[in-house]
Amino acid sequence: MDIVVSGIRSTGNLHLGNYFGAIRNFVKMQEENPCYFFIADYHSLTTHPTPADLHSSVKTVLVEFLACGLDPEKATLYVQSDVPEVAELYLLLNMNAYVGELERCTSFKEKIRTHPNNVNAALLTYPTLMAADIIIHKAHKVPVGKDQEQHLEMTRTFASRFNRMYNVDYFPEPVAYNFGEDLVKIPGLDGGQKMSKSDNENSAIFLADSPEVIRKKVMKAVTDAGPTEPNQPKPLAIENIFQFLKIFSSTDTYTHFNDLYNRCEIRYGDLKKQLAEDIIVFNNPLREKIEALKNDTDYLGKVARMGAEKARESAAKTIREVREIIGFRSM
Ligand code: ADP
Ligand code: TRP
């Protein structure tokens, strides 16, 4: 049976990109596979949150995991820092992770460009920590969005390097996974490439956003003056808006606006009004569950403790075996 592992950084509220890229798969996979889903709070330290912010972000992600339908009885839901074995495996993997290959990683190059004053060592070794997260449970499948593809490739490199180095067949080589379909990339509302909370808050619709906020964000989404000739290809920002229609609206609605576009009769205001209402219909049940769960501290604590115990059991077994393979043996 394939083992499934995935995580989301605790950097605040989850957005629709996280949902469609990752969490929707978590919900499906927990029905059939042994799953480990965690809140990556060690990873979030690269941006130096205050202790209060760190704690509240972890809680937010846990609440939102549960609101999306993750079931602590089916999957192991845990907080990364509750499993310090991950940090030990990270240290061990770093011994065989080369600075050159880490520097070539696209996400690292992007961080250097966008945050030149905070290029810390953990940013460089982000892929080894991520690999440790995954292989600590000897995972086979990792449900993630398209942006994580390269990190998964590096995870396979580190796993197979370990196997080769110690002449063992110990770690499987995990793959990024989306139910046999291509990995997903949900665009931003700002005309940009990817919905993301880190880069531009206006690009993202959060699961916790109220209907008023969703309407406001969608109405502000980047569009243009409209096509001037019939049946022209759509510029990126417009393509993005239509991708949203495809996800959230009915086929009839999509076809209606697509025909108007092709006839140069599109009015983006009408399209956006309809799209906002369709997103709200999707989002409302999630937002209501978030509201209902967010103050249930006892339940949240219970879920986190239960997950930590199960995750540690699996992680501790791996660390025991890895130590033995490496040659850490008692005198
Ligand atoms: P963010 O990019 O907003 O900081 P994370 O990096 O914590 O979010 O992403 C957590 C998960 O959500 C990963 O599996 C990632 O691939 C997925 N994800 C994030 N943004 C998108 C998006 N726009 N489209 C598809 N998947 C996404
Ligand atoms: N790097 C992932 C992201 O930014 C989050 C993450 C950390 C992760 N560890 C992981 C995802 C392990 C899958 C498996 O989205």
Q: Does residue 65 sit in the same domain as residue 24?
A: yes
Looking at residue 12, which CATH number applies to its domain? Answer: 3.40.50.620
The answer to whether residue 184 is domain-embedded is no
Mean pLDDT of 221-238: 94
Q: Which pLDDT band holds residue 180 (cuts at 50, 70, 90)?
A: confident
Ligand with minimal distance to 182 CA: 1
223 and 131 within one domain: no
134 CB near ligand 2 (under 6 Å): yes
Read off the tokens for 173: 């080589």
If asked whether residues 67 and 212 sit together in one domain, one would say no
Ligand 2 centre distance from Cα of residue 214 (Å):
27
Question: Ligand 2, atom 5: nearest CA belongs to which residue?
Answer: 8
Residues 36 and 70 in one domain: yes
Per-residue model confidence as pLDDT tens digits over 100-142: 999 999 999 999 999 999 999 999 999 999 999 999 999 999 9
**Based on the domain organization, do 55 and 163 belong to the same domain?**
yes
23 CA distance to ligand 1 middle (Å):
10
Active site residues: 111, 194, 197
- DSSP letter string over 93-110? HHTT--HHHHHT-HHHHH
Domain membership flag for residue 194: no
Structure confidence at residue 153 (pLDDT): 98
170 vs 152: CA distance, rounded Å: 17
Same domain, 154 and 37: yes
Q: How confident is the model over 64-85, as a mean pLDDT?
A: 98
Domain that holds residue 243: 201-291
Task: Name the average pLDDT for the chain.
Answer: 96
Partner residues linked to 9 by β-bridges: 40
Q: What is the pLDDT of residue 298?
A: 98
Same domain, 12 and 128: yes
Closest residue by CA, ligand 2 atom 14: 6
- For residue 199, pLDDT over 90 is answered with no
Q: Count of domains in the chain?
A: 2
Q: What is the DSSP string of 252-296?
A: HHHHHHHHHHHTT---HHHHHHHHHHHHHHHHHHHHHHHHHHTT-
Residue given tokens 């983006």 in the structure block: 268
Domain annotation covers residue 165: yes
In this structure, the residues whose C-beta lies within 6 A of any atom of ligand 1 are 8-9, 11, 17-18, 20-22, 144-145, 147-148, 184-186, 194-198
CATH number of the domain at 242, please: 1.10.240.10
pLDDT at 330 over 90: no
Average pLDDT (28-57) is: 97
Distance CA 85, CA 133 (A): 9
- Residue 315 tokens, joined: 């992680």
Whole-structure pTM value: 0.96
On the question of pLDDT at 19 being above 70, the answer is yes
Shortest-distance ligand to the CA of residue 206: 1
Distance CA 56, CA 39 (A): 12
Cα–ligand 1 centroid distance for 330 (angstroms): 43
d(CA 209, CA 207): 6
Residue 331 located in a structural domain: no
Angle formed at CA 137 by CA 136 and CA 141, multiple of 5 degrees:
115
Residue 198 has pLDDT above 90, yes or no: no
Ligand 2 pocket test: pick from 46, 144, 195 the residue with the most ligand atoms within 8 Å of its Cβ. Answer: 144
Q: Is 327 a residue whose pLDDT tops 70?
A: yes
Report the percent of the chain where pLDDT is more than 70.
Answer: 99
Q: Ligand 2 in contact with 142 (CB < 6 A)? A: yes
Residue 39: pLDDT above 90?
Answer: yes
Pocket lining: 9 vs ligand 2, CB cutoff 6 Å: yes
Other Cβ atoms less than 10 A from the Cβ of 225: the count is: 6
Q: For residue 191, tell me if it sits in a domain.
A: no
Asked if 242 and 234 touch (Cβ cutoff 8 Å), the reply is: yes
| 89 and 121 assigned to the same domain | yes
Q: Are 226 and 264 in contact (CB under 8 A)?
A: yes
- Pair 51, 167 in one domain: yes
Please name the amino acid found at residue 294: K
Domain assignment present for residue 190? The answer is no
Does residue 130's CB lie within 6 angstroms of at least one atom of ligand 2?
Answer: yes
List, for residues 138-168, the tens digit of each pLDDT value. 999 999 999 999 999 999 999 999 999 999 9
Token reading at 180:
């046999």
Shared domain for 34 and 147, answered yes or no, is yes
- pLDDT at residue 6, rounded to an integer: 98
Is residue 32 domain-shared with residue 102, that is, in the same domain? yes
DSSP state of 65: H
Closest ligand to C-alpha of residue 135 is 2
Q: Give me the pLDDT at residue 197, please.
A: 82
**Residue corresponding to tokens 């502000």:** 220
DSSP 78: E
